[in-house]
């Protein structure tokens, strides 16, 4: 923070010093303006007068802009340290701006147009008023300020504003007298308006564009922050999902572990060789089963041939039986083909679908869930239907989005299931009618179909 203040201090005094040095180094240019005025009188050519007007307007506007930027920079320091009202803001800027210009006039004896300078100052502050002075981008401030000051300095050479005490410096009065002598008052007024109006309009449009840009940046930053927060939430939810999978795997490993432990305890008590061989084979089978489970969990590409009946039996073991209002029916066709799947992941995907069917509200006394498995060309269809409240048609397109849920769940179950089914070259679709229920159909290719496709591809 201290370094930031140091930068602002340096910038403040740099602009103020440049404002004073500008007055010193531009004395020859002011003399050149006088030369152009004399040439216009000697030659009778008002073009020299217009050129003199342009020179004086540029010189006035640059010096005013430098002092204004120094004032704004100094103010940005004060506003960060003290809480001051809008009235105090304007009073501070006016006083400092007036003092800086007065010092420059006294020290370097250069022309000064206080009225147009202060009108330009107020116009600039009005354009920047909707922005916080302490955070307004400095380059944008320069662009707006120099346009405004340049526009208002053209009022000095317009005879029609003389009654307002505008253009009272020696240079401005000389230009207007020369214009009167050359009968070019209307030309000066036209040229003055030709620069004043476009630059005032341009400054207003520029300020509006900058404000709109700043507003859009704020919105983008807010959206980015919200998106980042959403990603963090999704990440945590995904971690919870992985944690659930680990718990499920740990639960499933208990069965073969109990088998191994039980058989191992029987071995010392058994003297029958045939039984020992049987125990050993069963222990080996349990260990193989555990190894397959762990591989399926750790490696997404791991695949094993599996009977559909075993898959459904595994799912059935995960369904809660303590809920008396829940009735689950399983309908399996006979002679179903083998599947070639990652058992742990496919089972978890199907359980997610079943869990969604369980938690969805139901208007009936009993909730019925039907798991039907049928043989179709190239594989099997596993359909899971319920008699819940269903899903509105407008929500069906969003159910595959991570985090979207119609029943206050995590919103990860269906996207996870869809990804797993897709990884197994299958498909998943959902049909639902409000107040009627929902049907989810999962298609998985058979092991033979996958093997035939690989043969066709030359694998």
Q: Where are the beta strands (DSSP E) in 279-426?
A: 304-306, 326-332, 339-341, 367-376, 379-386
What's the rounded Cα separation, in Å, for the pair 38 and 120?
Answer: 29
* pLDDT given for residue 130 in this prediction: 52
Placement of tokens 């996207």 in the chain: 415
Q: Most distant CA pair in the chain: distance in Å?
A: 135
- Supply 244's token pair: 């659930």
* Residue pair 360/437 in contact by the 8 Å Cβ criterion: no
Q: What is the DSSP letter of 425?
A: T
Q: What are the residues facing 385 on neighbouring strands? A: 370, 439
* pLDDT given for residue 19 in this prediction: 75
* pLDDT given for residue 133 in this prediction: 46
What's the rounded Cα separation, in Å, for the pair 142 and 438?
Answer: 63
Per-residue pLDDT of the chain (459 residues; tens, 9 = 90+): 556 666 767 777 787 788 777 777 887 888 888 889 899 989 888 888 899 999 988 988 888 888 788 777 766 655 555 555 545 555 666 677 677 666 766 665 566 777 888 888 888 878 876 554 444 567 888 888 899 999 999 998 898 888 888 888 888 888 889 988 888 888 889 999 999 999 999 999 988 888 888 788 888 888 888 888 877 776 776 666 666 666 655 656 665 666 677 767 767 767 666 777 776 777 776 777 676 667 656 655 677 888 888 888 877 776 766 667 788 888 888 888 888 888 878 888 888 888 888 888 887 888 888 899 998 888 899 999 888 888 877 777 777 776 556 555 555 567 778 888 888 888 988 888 888 888 999 999 988 876 666 555 555
* pLDDT given for residue 134 in this prediction: 43
Question: Within 10 Å of residue 278's Cβ, how many Cβ atoms?
Answer: 13
* pLDDT given for residue 135 in this prediction: 45
* Residue pair 305/447 in contact by the 8 Å Cβ criterion: yes
- Supply 17's token pair: 């010093």
* Residue pair 333/374 in contact by the 8 Å Cβ criterion: yes
Q: Which residues contact 197 (CB under 8 A, 6 or more apart)?
A: 151
What's the rounded Cα separation, in Å, for the pair 369 and 384?
Answer: 7
Cα 47 to its chain centre, rounded Å, is 55
- 0.75 cut: is pTM over it? no
Which alpha helices (DSSP H) does 317-436 contain, by range?
343-359, 393-396, 413-423
What's the rounded Cα separation, in Å, for the pair 213 and 131?
Answer: 12
φ, ψ of residue 146 in degrees (nearest 5): -70, -30
Tell me the CA end-to-end span of the chain in Å, nearest whole number.
Answer: 64
Helix or strand (DSSP H, E) at 438: strand 437-445
The radius of gyration of the chain's CA atoms, rounded to the nearest angstrom, is: 42
* pLDDT given for residue 83 in this prediction: 54
Q: Which residues contact 189 (CB under 8 A, 6 or more apart)?
A: 158, 159, 160
* Residue pair 29/158 in contact by the 8 Å Cβ criterion: no
* pLDDT given for residue 87 in this prediction: 52
Q: What are the residues facing 340 on neighbouring strands? A: 305
Closest CA to 450 of 249, 306, 313: 306
* pLDDT given for residue 105 in this prediction: 62
């Amino acid at each position: 923070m201290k370094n930031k203040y140091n930068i602002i201090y340096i910038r403040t005094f740099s602009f103020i010093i440049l404002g004073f040095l500008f007055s010193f180094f531009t004395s020859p240019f002011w003399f050149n303006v006088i030369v152009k005025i004399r040439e216009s009188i000697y030659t009778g050519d008002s073009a020299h007068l217009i050129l003199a007007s342009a020179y004086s307007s540029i010189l006035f506007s640059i010096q005013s802009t430098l002092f204004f930027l120094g004032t704004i920079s100094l103010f940005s320091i004060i506003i960060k340290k003290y809480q001051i009202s809008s009235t105090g803001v304007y009073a501070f800027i006016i006083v400092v701006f007036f003092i800086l210009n007065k010092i420059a006039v006294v020290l370097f004896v250069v022309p000064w147009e206080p009225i147009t300078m202060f009108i330009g100052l107020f116009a600039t502050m009005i354009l920047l008023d909707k922005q916080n002075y302490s955070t307004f981008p400095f380059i944008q401030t320069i662009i707006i300020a120099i346009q405004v000051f340049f526009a208002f300095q053209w009022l000095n050479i317009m005879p029609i504003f003389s009654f307002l005490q505008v253009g009272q410096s020696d240079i401005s009065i000389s230009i207007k007298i020369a214009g009167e002598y050359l009968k070019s008052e209307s030309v000066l007024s036209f040229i003055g308006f030709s620069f004043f109006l476009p630059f005032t309009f341009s400054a207003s449009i520029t300020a509006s564009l900058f404000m709109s840009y700043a507003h859009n940046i704020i919105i983008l930053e807010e959206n980015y922050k919200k998106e980042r927060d959403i990603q963090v939430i999704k990440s945590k939810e995904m971690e919870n999902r992985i944690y659930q999978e680990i718990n499920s795997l740990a639960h499933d490993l208990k069965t073969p572990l109990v088998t191994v432990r039980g058989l191992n305890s029987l071995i010392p008590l058994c003297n029958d060789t045939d039984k020992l061989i049987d125990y050993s084979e069963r222990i080996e089978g349990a260990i193989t089963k555990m190894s397959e489970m762990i591989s399926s969990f750790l490696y997404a590409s791991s695949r094993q041939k599996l009977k559909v009946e075993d898959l459904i039996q595994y799912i059935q073991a995960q369904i809660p039986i303590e809920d008396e209002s829940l009735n689950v029916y399983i309908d399996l066709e006979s002679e179903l083909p083998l599947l070639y799947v990652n058992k742990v992941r496919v089972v978890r995907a199907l359980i997610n679908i079943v869990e969604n069917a369980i938690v969805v509200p139901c208007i009936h006394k009993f909730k019925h869930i039907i798991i039907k498995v049928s043989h179709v060309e190239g594989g099997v269809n596993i359909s899971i239907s319920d008699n819940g409240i269903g899903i509105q048609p407008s929500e069906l397109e969003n159910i595959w989005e991570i985090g979207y849920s119609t029943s206050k769940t995590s919103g990860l179950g269906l996207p996870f299931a869809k990804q797993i089914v897709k990884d197994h070259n299958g498909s998943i679709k959902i049909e639902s009618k409000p107040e009627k229920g929902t049907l989810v159909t999962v298609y998985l290719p058979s092991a033979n179909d996958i093997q035939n496709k690989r043969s066709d591809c030359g694998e």
